[in-house]
Structure 1
Amino acid sequence: MAWIKFRPYAMIFPAILVFSLFFIYPIGYMMYLSMYDWNFVNPVKDFVGLSNFTTLLADEKFLEVLRNTFLYTSLTVSLTICISLLFALWLNKQGTMYGFVQGAIFSPHIISLVSISMLWMWIMDKDYGLLNWFLNLFGISSVAWLTDPNTSLISLVIVAVWKGIGFNTLIFIAGLQSIPRDIYEAASLDNTSKIRTFLHLTIPMLSPTMFFLTIISVINSFQVFETISIMTQGGPINSTNTIVYYIYENGFRFFKIGYASTAGVLLLIIIGLLTIVYFKVLSKKVHYQ
């Protein structure tokens, strides 16, 4: 019967409808608003073409926001991947203790960022924070973690790494357990050192896992918002302002919806270009079993 040909499309239609309604339409409407000067209150939108883009790219504050975003992303992703890999190598064993440590490390991942931000605001308090109390035990003077422009962004990186290590470690452990044991047995028969085994066997076999974790970590880091909104509000002196918080500020504090939409379009372009370059450059170096 003819209707059978359309049966697969009818089955996926609800998913396509939801995806179009909550993903495709908002992106298209954001691109539409980026061409207008609109204050979110006045129903009249003034068409300005591409002038929002030229103004945004010439804005020194936005360029500083971009630098903050790239620095935050590079530090967060690199530290999280490296530390998670070390934890995974340590915890890839059988035993009650290792299972308990895995659960303890993973627990920050399931806690909301709001709760984590409030917790770390207390830990990093200059006068009463637990972190400065620990430093004082070793004779190190207290650090203004969240109020000093030189340390505020690093403080947010510490929070992001602390939260992200658990998830990445669990994925790395799954990747390690999927590596065939006979490969390591062959390496031991050849008297291959542990360092060479790690560099030439473990890392290549883990490349699909690292490829996956790196790309999702980059995307998540570019979209950071909650910790900044709660802990620093983009300060001090714009030192922790990132692109998503910059969009929020212009859209919902200053009511510059067209300008905020322009920044959103640029964020979409940046993430898209980074993803394309990442896949083009590194996808051929991924070793699939």
Structure 2
Amino acid sequence: MNRKRSNTFWGYFFIAPQLIGLLSFSLIPLITTFVLSTLDWDGFQPATFIGFNNFSYAFHNPDFQKALVNTLYYSLLTVPMGIFLAILVAVALNKVRYRVMYRLFFFMPVVTSSVAVAIVWMWLLNGDFGIINFLLHSLFGIKGPQWLTNLNLVLPSLAIVSIWQKLGFNMIIFLAGLQGISRDYYEASMIDGASRSQQFWKITVPLLSPTTLFVTIIGIIDSFKIFDTAFVMTSGGPAKASYTIVYHLYELAFKNFQFGRSAAAATMLFVIILTFTIAQTYISRKWVHYAD
């Protein structure tokens, strides 16, 4: 009995740091945000309880609507293409020589500061003296567009930066998924005369579907949290063409000092992300295949 109690004590002792971190940095802030969303507070004067008025304001606010549409569009640009490219790179690097070195090169942008990445890409995408437009003009005689000031190109430009930076992370996840696929499937398909492309679409892609589900959920959550890239590269412009939900939260809280309204918008963002995650998990039953 004493040994059982001792094991229980040490078990809780070792998971205590994780539990404390979860409470301190996740659960308590989440509850605090919901409570704050029911208050009218500017950070200086005493808070006033106003119920769900902040949610009504956010729902009818044109800026929130614009930010939501931009964020959804950005997510549609980044998640599918990012997953597709990550699968191709993972398959290409799965059995190649010096694959550790290649994986390192692809993963380096993931651990690089987002601000540093944004500054470098601001120079690359500069419409007047950027290297991308220089190469377009030098190699193809094409006059490059204003990537970061064109209303139709600014979000795709930010999506390119995000796909490039997150490619290494998704690639590592898919590489781990590839290691779990038995070679027996490929050997049996080779006996049946399957080509490489048939093996990819009929074996690799279906058996990577659990990994694809995970990367999709993480990618959607990450795309809805875009802020630093838009803040550094475009400041939400031009004409709020790159104005995202998190940027909207930032302006409400730290420019307008409307903390209650910002918290309400953050709570709505949490509900939107949760809804997408639950829906994706439910729909995945139809396309996710697990190997026997």
Query: TM-score, normalization: structure 2?
Result: 0.93
Structure 1 residue 193, shift from structure 2 partner: 3.0
Answering whether residue 276 of structure 2 is matched by residue 274 of structure 1, we say yes
Cα root mean square deviation, aligned: 1.7
Q: Distance in 2 between matches of 1:142 and 1:198?
A: 36
**Partner residue of 2:178 out of 167, 176, 179:** 176
Answering whether residue 44 of structure 2 is matched by residue 41 of structure 1, we say yes
Q: Distance in 2 between matches of 1:13 and 1:117?
A: 37
Contact 2:125–2:131, Cα closer than 8 Å, also in 1: yes
- Listed as ranges, the matches of 1:74-93 within 5 Å are 74-93=76-95
Structure 1 residue 222, shift from structure 2 partner: 0.7
- Listed as ranges, the matches of 1:247-258 within 5 Å are 247-258=249-260
Q: Distance in 1 between matches of 2:61 and 2:229?
A: 24
Structure 1 residue 10, shift from structure 2 partner: 4.8
Q: Identity over the aligned pairs, expressed in percent?
A: 38
1:53-94 CA-to-partner distances (Å, cap 9, x unmatched) read 111111122111101001101110111101111112222223
- Cα distance change on mapping 1:14 and 1:193 into 2, 3 Å: closer
Q: Distance in 2 between matches of 1:34 and 1:266?
A: 10
Q: Which moved more, 1:207-216 or 1:152-161?
A: 207-216
**Partner residue of 1:30 out of 29, 33, 38:** 33
Query: TM-score, normalization: structure 1?
Result: 0.94
Q: Distance in 1 between matches of 2:181 and 2:21?
A: 38
What is the SS of the residue equivalent to 1:149? coil
Matching residue of 2:192: 190
Matching residue of 1:130: 131
Q: Which moved more, 1:134-143 or 1:74-83?
A: 134-143
- Listed as ranges, the matches of 1:158-173 within 5 Å are 158-173=160-175
Structure 1 residue 11, shift from structure 2 partner: 4.4
Q: Which moved more, 1:105-114 or 1:257-266?
A: 105-114
Contact 2:63–2:248, Cα closer than 8 Å, also in 1: no
- Listed as ranges, the matches of 1:1-289 within 5 Å are 1=1, 4=5, 7=9, 8-42=11-45, 44-96=46-98, 98-137=99-138, 138-283=140-285, 285-289=287-291
Q: Distance in 1 between matches of 2:78 and 2:252?
A: 25
Structure 1 residue 109, shift from structure 2 partner: 1.2
Q: Which moved more, 1:82-91 or 1:108-117?
A: 82-91
What is the SS of the residue equivalent to 2:247? helix
Structure 1, gaps ≥5 residues long: none
Structure 2, gaps ≥5 residues long: none
Q: Which moved more, 1:168-177 or 1:7-16?
A: 7-16
Question: Number of residue pairs matched?
Answer: 287
Q: Which moved more, 1:133-142 or 1:225-234?
A: 133-142
Q: Which moved more, 1:279-288 or 1:62-71?
A: 279-288
Q: Distance in 1 between matches of 2:286 and 2:31?
A: 33
Q: Distance in 1 between matches of 2:175 and 2:57?
A: 47
Structure 1 residue 284, shift from structure 2 partner: 5.5
